[in-house]
């Protein structure tokens, strides 16, 4: 698998091949070359080096003398990164053929025809809904908030390729609507949404990662069960994370620490359960830490792939930062809309999906607001995607390209350009996520940790051109409840800077709650501003391993996933 360390991911196979020629030039920019007169920050030699927190003999149990450690991020992605998304068996239907007869010319709306195919393939047990080369017009119908729903497990929506198959929407009444939603057809809940859901209490604190959870009892639990290990937003927890006087005790969907896991083993003698992925810590008895069963079924083995998707340019007026609150404005009508959303999904994927500027659009308008959202989903792999140019980038959650509000998801070899935030993590449900070998260009604001302590996530070998990566200690914005502390124990590994953002003269701005880590930077724009653990600033080109995620995955799995 080709790694785009200092280059871009572009719209088609041919363009990707052409770009590899330019990639050489970009990568040279990330080697030790600096403008005349700029002080040399690297060591005199170019010997390879290991992080003090990631020695050659690293194991997940490793701690330095100060107790600092790096989480094991190797579980991120489809099926824990152990296998790529596989060819889907089952039904295979061409939506342009009977009985569906979807119009591939873009003249007639194809929403109903494609939805019929998705539902029938899903009811038959799964398979592929294929969109041959052409243009397919889609939009939410009537009062529906979604154009196309993938609501059955085992269904794949597949085009003939980005640049061959185009999905197109010219609907401007898109406030809080979604073009493609992947979520269960029946209600599913992590039971962490503003209520005091009963569960089985932990009998010991778990402040650091572990896969073994000691409980008051194990009755009613079974191997394979989907559970959430969660806490309550108590005053104890608020004080512990430094939000005294800024947050108040309450149950909140965004401020309940949640780890979605499946039980792999039960020890009834000692009332211990083993879960499939380590919890990341911060679980305390004083916060009523407990195991709560998930209700309903997550949607699984669902993918969208091989097409481009675009939205017509909104010709209206009123695109100010807070115009989304004013009816009749462009901003109001597109506020909170998204192109693709995964919600309550597990082991799925998005690959080779690009945005594009439909005919009649300015070239730098591809979509109306948000692009891809991963909400309370786990094990989703986002691969080789190219998302760009939202029209509206106002406040209130608009213009984000890759939004991570789930856990242990993987975004790999993807491109982002001109979002309000190109990549963003948010909420206490976001942990264990990995962004690796991605390229981020000209973000309006930085790619960031956005709100509510999204702990233990990884930016790995990301290249920034006119963008920066940010983890603020405190974000005082957010409306009635401030965003507050944004992250802890997250890692910026081997980041490449080609050009500083106009908004920030640093490649990385990081002041995390507790411990945070910047390990290795490179390129002509390599400087950081941080109070966190930092090493190898300007020396990333000789950091070993190049990718933390890939090395950790290899140590656990032992094979290369192509």
pLDDT tens sequence across 386-437 = 999 999 999 999 999 999 999 999 999 999 999 999 999 999 999 999 999 9
Q: Over 80: is that where the pLDDT of 359 sits?
A: yes
Per-residue tokens: 535: 């090493």
Q: Over 80: is that where the pLDDT of 339 sits?
A: yes
Q: How many of the other CB atoms lie within 10 Å of CB of 48?
A: 11
Examine the domain organization and report whether 310 and 367 are in the same domain: yes
Can you give the pLDDT at residue 6? 59
pLDDT tens sequence across 527-538 = 999 999 999 999
Q: Over 90: is that where the pLDDT of 22 sits?
A: no
Model's pTM, two decimal places? 0.93
Owning domain of residue 499:
78-82+92-186+298-557
Is residue 58 very low, low, confident or very high in pLDDT (cuts 50, 70, 90)? very high
Examine the domain organization and report whether 268 and 310 are in the same domain: no
Can you give the pLDDT at residue 521? 98
Examine residue 176 and state whether it is found in any structural domain, yes or no. Answer: yes
Q: Is 44 exposed, middle or buried (0-12, 13-18, 19+ CB in 10 A)?
A: exposed
CB 70 within 8 A of CB 54: yes
Can you give the pLDDT at residue 560? 52
Q: If you search the block for the tokens 């009523």, which residue do you land on?
A: 288
80-91 mean pLDDT: 85
Examine the domain organization and report whether 268 and 398 are in the same domain: no
Examine the domain organization and report whether 206 and 174 are in the same domain: no
CB 152 within 8 A of CB 125: no
Q: Over 50: is that where the pLDDT of 34 sits?
A: no
Looking at every residue in the chain, the average pLDDT score rounds to: 92
CB 95 within 8 A of CB 128: no
Can you give the pLDDT at residue 46? 74
Can you give the pLDDT at residue 480? 82
Q: Over 80: is that where the pLDDT of 70 sits?
A: yes
240-263 mean pLDDT: 90
Examine the domain organization and report whether 287 and 304 are in the same domain: no
Examine the domain organization and report whether 379 and 234 are in the same domain: no
Examine the domain organization and report whether 182 and 309 are in the same domain: yes
Domain final residue pick, 235, 266, 293: 293
Examine residue 547 and state whether it is found in any structural domain, yes or no. Answer: yes
Examine the domain organization and report whether 139 and 230 are in the same domain: no
Per-residue tokens: 402: 């890759």
Examine residue 25 and state whether it is found in any structural domain, yes or no. Answer: no
Examine the domain organization and report whether 438 and 516 are in the same domain: yes
pLDDT tens sequence across 114-134 = 999 999 999 999 999 999 999
Grouping H, G, I as helix, E, B as strand and the rest as coil, residue 350 is strand
Q: How much of the chain exceeds pLDDT 70, in percent?
A: 91
450-476 mean pLDDT: 97
Q: Which residues pair with 435 in a beta bridge?
A: 411, 459
Domain final residue pick, 278, 293, 308: 293
Q: Which helix (H) or strand (E) holds 29?
A: helix 13-29
**Domain with 261 in it: what CATH number?**
2.40.30
φ, ψ at 130 (rounded to 5°): -105, 130
Examine the domain organization and report whether 328 and 453 are in the same domain: yes
Can you give the pLDDT at residue 171? 97
Q: Over 80: is that where the pLDDT of 242 sits?
A: yes
d(CA 397, CA 389): 15
**Domain with 394 in it: what CATH number?**
2.160.20
Closest CA to 313 of 337, 330, 328, 335: 330
- State how beta strands 338-343 and 178-182 pair: parallel
Examine residue 175 and state whether it is found in any structural domain, yes or no. Answer: yes
225-248 mean pLDDT: 96
Can you give the pLDDT at residue 5? 46
Examine residue 54 and state whether it is found in any structural domain, yes or no. Answer: no
Report angle CA 436, 440, 441 to the nearest 5 degrees.
165
Examine the domain organization and report whether 238 and 359 are in the same domain: no
Can you give the pLDDT at residue 198? 93
Examine residue 552 and state whether it is found in any structural domain, yes or no. Answer: yes
83-89 mean pLDDT: 82
Q: Over 70: is that where the pLDDT of 2 sits?
A: no
Q: Over 50: is that where the pLDDT of 31 sits?
A: no
Closest CA to 561 of 85, 17, 52: 85
Q: Over 60: is that where the pLDDT of 333 sits?
A: yes
Examine residue 402 and state whether it is found in any structural domain, yes or no. Answer: yes
Grouping H, G, I as helix, E, B as strand and the rest as coil, residue 258 is strand
Q: Over 80: is that where the pLDDT of 36 sits?
A: no
For the chain, the domain total comes to: 2
Examine the domain organization and report whether 285 and 303 are in the same domain: no
CB 59 within 8 A of CB 70: no
Can you give the pLDDT at residue 91? 87
Domain final residue pick, 258, 293, 328: 293
Q: Is the dihedral of CA 439, 444, 448, 451 positive or negative?
A: negative
Can you give the pLDDT at residue 559? 65
Examine residue 32 and state whether it is found in any structural domain, yes or no. Answer: no
């Amino acid at each position: 698998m080709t790694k785009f360390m200092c280059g871009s991911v572009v719209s088609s196979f041919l363009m990707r091949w052409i770009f590899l020629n330019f990639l050489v030039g970009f990568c040279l920019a990330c080697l030790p070359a600096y403008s005349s007169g700029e002080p040399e920050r690297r060591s005199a030699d170019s010997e390879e080096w290991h992080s003090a927190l990631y020695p050659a003999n690293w194991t997940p149990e490793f701690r330095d003398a100060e107790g600092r450690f790096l989480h094991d991020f190797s579980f991120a992605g489809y099926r824990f990164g152990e296998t790529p998304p596989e060819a889907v068996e089952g039904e295979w239907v061409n939506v342009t053929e009977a009985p569906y007869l979807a119009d591939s010319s873009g003249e007639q709306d194809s929403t109903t025809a494609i939805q019929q195919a998705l539902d029938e393939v899903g009811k038959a047990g799964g398979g592929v809904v294929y969109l041959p080369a052409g243009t397919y017009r889609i939009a939410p119908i009537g009062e529906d908030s979604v154009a196309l729903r993938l609501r059955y497990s085992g269904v794949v929506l597949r085009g003939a390729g980005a640049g061959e198959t185009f999905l197109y929407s010219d609907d401007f009444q898109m406030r809080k609507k979604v073009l493609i939603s992947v979520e269960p057809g029946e209600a599913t809940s992590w039971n962490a949404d503003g209520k005091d859901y009963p569960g089985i209490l932990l009998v010991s604190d778990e402040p650091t990662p572990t896969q073994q959870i000691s409980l008051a009892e194990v009755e009613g639990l079974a191997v394979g069960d989907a559970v959430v290990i969660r806490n309550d937003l108590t005053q104890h927890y608020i004080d512990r994370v430094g939000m005294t006087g800024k947050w108040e005790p309450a149950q909140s969907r965004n401020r309940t620490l949640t780890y979605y896991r499946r039980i792999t083993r039960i020890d009834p003698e000692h009332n211990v359960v083993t879960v499939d992925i380590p919890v990341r810590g911060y679980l305390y008895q004083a916060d009523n830490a407990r195991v709560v069963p998930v209700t309903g079924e997550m949607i699984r083995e669902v993918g969208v792939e091989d097409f481009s998707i675009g939205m017509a340019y909104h010709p209206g007026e009123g695109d100010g930062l807070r115009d989304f609150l004013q009816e009749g404005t462009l901003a109001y009508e597109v506020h909170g809309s998204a192109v693709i959303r995964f919600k309550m999904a597990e082991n799925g994927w998005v690959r080779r999906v690009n945005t594009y500027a439909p005919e009649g659009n300015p070239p730098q308008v591809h979509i109306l607001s948000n692009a891809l959202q991963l909400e309370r989903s786990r094990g989703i792999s986002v691969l080789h995607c190219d998302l760009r140019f939202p029209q509206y980038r106002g406040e209130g959650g608009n213009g984000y390209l890759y939004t991570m509000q789930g856990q242990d998801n993987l975004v790999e070899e993807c491109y982002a350009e001109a979002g309000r935030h190109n990549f963003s993590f948010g909420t206490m449900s976001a942990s264990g996520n990995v962004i690796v070998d991605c390229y981020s260009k000209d973000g309006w604001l930085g790619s960031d940790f956005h709100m509510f302590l999204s702990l233990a996530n990884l930016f790995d070998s990301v290249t920034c051109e006119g963008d920066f990566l940010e983890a603020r200690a405190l974000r005082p914005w957010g409306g009635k409840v401030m965003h507050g502390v944004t992250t802890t124990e997250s890692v910026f590994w081997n980041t490449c800077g080609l050009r500083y953002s106009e908004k920030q003269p640093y490649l990385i701005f990081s002041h995390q709650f507790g411990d945070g880590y910047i390990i290795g930077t490179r390129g002509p724009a390599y400087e950081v501003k941080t109070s966190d653990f930092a090493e190898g600033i300007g020396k990333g080109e000789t950091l070993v391993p190049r990718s933390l995620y890939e090395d950790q995955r290899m140590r656990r799995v032992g094979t290369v996933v192509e």
